[in-house]
Structure 1
Amino acid sequence: MKFFTLLSILALTASASAATTLTMTGVHNCCGSCAKGITKAGSIGEGVTIDVPDKSTTVTITSKKKGDAMKAAEAIIAAGYFGKIEGGEPSKSASKSTASTKPEAKMTKATVSGVHLCCKKCEVAAADAVKTVSGITKSDIVAKATSFTVEGEFTKSELTAALNAAGFAGVIK
């Protein structure tokens, strides 16, 4: 009986200390500055590790506490990077529904802020993403900028989807 009790305690201890691992795929990471930015953004505290292989579009987040891995992923997205998250449940703030019964209104101009644009490669990747949106006729994306504008006739969701597909996140107003 003592043996089974000991095994139960060891199993509970092992499960309590098990790490949570999330993988973000499709993240923009063209240079060392991108990798440093991803690592810095995701390093939300003790027990969270961020693995960003050189110029890889895959980021692995490991945390000791349940929920911290998702918080780290959300911090990376808030820093201007985007990736599909595998291996975890979205937090309440990330899982709000954006579905609507009305068609989305077209925009003629938008300011996009918070996209990670540390270098010319980031600039080109973001500009290429914006060019895929039907109806956008003009953009002023430059490296190291904190925001840029786009003009034409497009929806916010089209622009968001194009940036996300290129591994970027930002705030569109």
Structure 2
Amino acid sequence: MKFFTLLSILALTASVRAETTLTMTGVHNCCGSCAKGIIKAGSIGEGVTIDVPEKSTTVTITSKKKGDAMKAAEAIIAGGYFGKIEGAESDSKKSTSKPATAAKPEAKMAKATVSGVHLCCKKCEVAAANAVKTVPGITKSDIVAKATSFTVEGEFTKSELETALNAAGFAGDIK
């Protein structure tokens, strides 16, 4: 009986240890539709839970399988949301990345189409528009709620636009 109890405790300890938690901070989440969108985007399968407190910019991802929490975070980003990822899996990925190399200055763009940004409501529209306004050189944008894409015009770099959107908790594909 003692042997069985010991095995049960060891099994329970192993299952607890296998759980992974990541936290995404700075994620745009202005309404219930945003929260539902974050949960839907991050729901990659069984054993992954996404906790999004109402109107909170913090998302907690818990997974039973190693690697699934990071996959869920990546899926949330692909869903049009962005946040700084903190936790064991994100830390290990950082340590394996290549060191930065000196690159030539990025070319300026006159116009870009941004797709995949989560824009479910007027609050999302205003937040994305305010982020775009922080980019030096952008003179025009056509961001509207519920749109699947928008354009920006002026003289700016792709990285400046991406950084501004990310800072506001959004992710998208810029072309």
1:126: which partner in 2?
128
| Cα distance in structure 1, aligned partners of 2:124 and 2:98 | 29
Aligned-pair distance for 1:89? 2.8
2:152 is the alignment partner of 1:141: no
2:41: which partner in 1?
41
| Cα distance in structure 2, aligned partners of 1:169 and 1:96 | 23
After TM superposition, the structure 1 = structure 2 runs for residues 78-89 of structure 1, keeping only pairs within 5 Å, are: 78-89=78-89
Residue type at the aligned position of 1:138 = K
Residue type at the aligned position of 1:48 = V
Q: TM-score, normalised by structure 2?
A: 0.88
Q: TM-score, normalised by structure 1?
A: 0.89
After TM superposition, the structure 1 = structure 2 runs for residues 1-173 of structure 1, keeping only pairs within 5 Å, are: 10-11=9-10, 14-18=13-17, 19-90=19-90, 101-173=103-175
Aligned-pair distance for 1:158? 0.3
| Cα distance in structure 1, aligned partners of 2:41 and 2:157 | 29
Q: Runs of 5+ in structure 1 lacking a partner?
A: none
The 1:96/1:109 distance shift into structure 2, 3 A limit, reads farther
Residue type at the aligned position of 2:13 = A
Q: Which runs of 4+ in 1 moved over 3 A?
A: 6-13, 95-100
Aligned-pair distance for 1:15? 2.9
Q: How many percent identity over aligned positions?
A: 82
Report if the CA contact (8 A) 2:125-2:145 is conserved: yes
RMSD: 2.3
Q: How many residues align?
A: 169
Q: Runs of 5+ in structure 2 lacking a partner?
A: none
Structure ranking higher in helix proportion:
2
3-state SS of paired residue (1:164): helix
